[in-house]
């Protein structure tokens, strides 16, 4: 463990709980600008309450931005208010409740309302917006509220349409005005759609602003992953280790909390009564000795799904069970980014493969898959996608799920693949953070 002069300690970069003491400097320094990006009100406390306290105590600036107001969680609302919400106004009320809970929680941790920004985009809808709603005359309509514009008058962009351009503009404006040194953001392997979309929107915004602001350091945090964390419930005596399936692919960093920070984190999580009355067993499982951050390892191709390139193709190689021949299927997202083309105009491909056939969709529009090569052998399934279908990108965000019949056998969170050497002749692909 790196023991710092500050109260928050940086623990081993590897996930093993063994700790070794060494000298070091503070992880967060005086005057640094810390940005916490939260998909929903409560994610900042679940994942970053220790970071927030450390930043405040060390004289750093702290800004927290919430992508949604969390107005889609109908079950928690039923438990909390003992009634079933049906009307639009009731869902907006739910979002206002969670905003107020966030203000109370952050006050406990030393962050005032003037440092909280609520964007108010649709809970459980931002990934659909990322995929299909850009510059559209018909913005996304929330499943629960049936609203297509930001409905909260106190939010940053009140009445902004539910389109990708609105979200991206808001995030870029925050980055330009605040110029953060460190950003804590939801993880690309998180299974919650709003969590993965916030990570992707941030990456696009940083690429857009590459020559306008200094590049901040990113610290993705994980909240939603099947069967994790374990055990559930409040266990302040335990270390928070990463899911076993994500140990080899991701460089993990553990930040230790002292007893006072842990107690304040516990109190901050409990401030979200609308959530803890139904899910305290889950939320309080994150109040442990440390907080956990990490991203996919740079230039490292490991695991059952690997990404390489050959003659203008992005090649996805999947190591599969030998017996899975006729019943193997994949679901892959491929979002390309080009410095020459606005992201709103780039293809956003969803690819489905079944046995030896592939089907491609750009949003809701079917795309010809004639040039996609599918090669199925005893040990591998290889999918080769022409880079021109992806808009001849400079880099690609790609995520793959692999199924045998209907049972998932592997999931790869979004990885950033940098394309070097052009997309027409020999192409080299490196994996970046």
Do β-strands 365-367 and 357-362 pair in parallel, antiparallel, or remain unpaired? antiparallel
Given this model, what pLDDT does residue 415 score? 92
- Kindly report, residue by residue over 326-351, the tens digit of the pLDDT: 678 899 999 999 999 999 999 999 99
Beta carbons within 8 Å of 276's beta carbon, 6+ residues apart = 269, 270, 283, 284
Cα 317 from chain centre:
24
| Span 305-432 CATH architecture | Sandwich (2.60)
- Kindly report, residue by residue over 413-422, the tens digit of the pLDDT: 999 988 866 5
Given this model, what pLDDT does residue 428 score? 43
Beta-bridged to residue 18, according to DSSP, are none
Omega prior to 231 cis, within 30 of 0: yes
Contact 7, 261 (CB under 8 A): yes
Contact 218, 295 (CB under 8 A): yes
The DSSP secondary-structure symbol of 130 reads H
pLDDT band at 310 (very low <50, low <70, confident <90, very high): low
Given this model, what pLDDT does residue 288 score? 98
Is residue 132 over pLDDT 70?
yes
* CATH 2.60.40-classified regions of the chain: 305-432
Backbone angles phi, psi at 317, to 5 degrees: -110, 120
pTM of the predicted model over 0.85: yes
> Tokens standing for 293?
């951050």
Q: Is 377 exposed, middle or buried (0-12, 13-18, 19+ CB in 10 A)?
A: exposed
Given this model, what pLDDT does residue 224 score? 97
Provide the 10 A C-beta neighbour count for residue 224: 18
Q: What's the CA gap between 397 and 350, in Å, rounded? A: 12
Q: What's the CA gap between 371 and 88, in Å, rounded? A: 46
Omega prior to 317 cis, within 30 of 0: no
Residue 303, Ramachandran bin (φ over 0: left; ψ between -120 and 50: alpha; else beta): left
Helix (H) or strand (E) holding 296: strand 290-296
End-to-end CA distance of the chain: 24
Q: CA-based angle 360:364:369, to the nearest 5?
A: 15
Tokens 């965000």: give the residue.
397
Q: What's the CA gap between 293 and 295, in Å, rounded? A: 7
Is residue 11 over pLDDT 60?
no
Beta-bridged to residue 313, according to DSSP, are 310, 386
Provide the 10 A C-beta neighbour count for residue 231: 8
Contact 279, 286 (CB under 8 A): no
Q: What's the CA gap between 151 and 96, in Å, rounded? A: 10
| Percent of the chain residues topping a pLDDT of 70 | 86
Provide the 10 A C-beta neighbour count for residue 15: 22
Is residue 20 over pLDDT 70?
no
The better pLDDT of the pair 142, 303 is held by 142
**DSSP 3-state of 133:** coil
Tell me the CA distances in angstroms from 48 to 20, 98, 179, 218, 411, one per residue in order: 23, 17, 19, 13, 25
Q: Which of 46-50, 61-65, 201-205, 426-430 has the lowest mean pLDDT?
A: 426-430
Beta carbons within 8 Å of 343's beta carbon, 6+ residues apart = 134, 164, 168, 204, 208, 337
| Span 2-296 CATH architecture | 3-Layer(aba) Sandwich (3.40)
Omega prior to 229 cis, within 30 of 0: yes
State mean pLDDT over 229-244. Answer: 97
Q: What's the CA gap between 32 and 397, in Å, rounded? A: 29
């Amino acid at each position: 463990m790196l023991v710092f002069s500050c109260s928050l300690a940086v623990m081993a970069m590897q996930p093993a709980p063994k700790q070794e003491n060494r000298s070091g400097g503070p992880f967060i320094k005086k005057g640094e600008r810390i940005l916490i990006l939260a998909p929903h009100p409560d994610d900042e406390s679940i994942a970053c309450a220790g970071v927030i306290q450390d930043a405040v105590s060390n004289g750093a600036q702290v800004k927290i931005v919430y992508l949604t107001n969390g107005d889609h969680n109908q079950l928690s609302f039923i438990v909390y208010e003992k009634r079933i919400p049906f009307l639009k106004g009731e869902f907006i009320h739910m979002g206002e409740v969670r905003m107020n809970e966030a203000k109370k929680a952050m006050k406990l941790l030393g962050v005032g309302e003037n440092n909280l920004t609520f964007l108010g985009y649709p809970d459980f809808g931002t990934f659909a917006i990322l995929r299909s709603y850009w510059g559209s005359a018909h913005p996304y309509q929330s499943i629960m509220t049936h609203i297509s514009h930001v409905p909260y008058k106190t939010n940053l962009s009140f009445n902004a349409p539910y389109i990708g351009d609105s979200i991206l503009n808001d995030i870029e404006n925050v980055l330009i005005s605040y110029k953060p040194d460190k950003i804590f953001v939801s993880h690309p392997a998180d299974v919650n759609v709003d969590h993965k979309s916030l990570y992707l929107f941030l990456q696009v915004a940083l690429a857009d602003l590459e020559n306008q602001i200094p590049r901040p350091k990113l610290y993705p945090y994980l909240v939603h992953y099947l069967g994790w964390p374990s055990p559930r419930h409040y266990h302040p005596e335990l270390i928070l280790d990463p899911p076993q399936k994500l140990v080899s692919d991701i460089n993990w960093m553990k930040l230790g909390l002292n007893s006072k920070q842990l107690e304040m984190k516990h109190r901050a999580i409990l401030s979200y009564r609308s959530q803890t009355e139904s899910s305290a067993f889950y939320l309080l499982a994150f109040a442990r000795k440390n907080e956990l951050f990490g991203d996919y390892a740079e230039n490292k191709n490991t695991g059952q799904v690997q990404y390489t390139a050959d003659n203008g193709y992005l090649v996805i190689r999947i190591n599969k069970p030998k017996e899975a021949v006729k019943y193997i299927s994949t679901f892959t997202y491929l979002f390309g980014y080009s410095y020459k083309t606005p992201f709103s105009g780039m293809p956003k491909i969803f690819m489905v493969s079944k046995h030896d056939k592939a089907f491609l969709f750009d949003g809701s529009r079917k795309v010809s898959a004639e040039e996609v090569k599918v090669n199925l052998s005893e040990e591998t399934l290889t999918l080769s996608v022409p880079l021109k279908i992806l808009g001849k990108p400079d880099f690609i965000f790609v995520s793959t799920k692999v199924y045998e019949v209907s049972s998932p056998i592997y999931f790869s969170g979004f990885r950033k693949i940098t394309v070097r050497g052009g997309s027409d002749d020999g192409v080299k692909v490196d994996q970046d953070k």
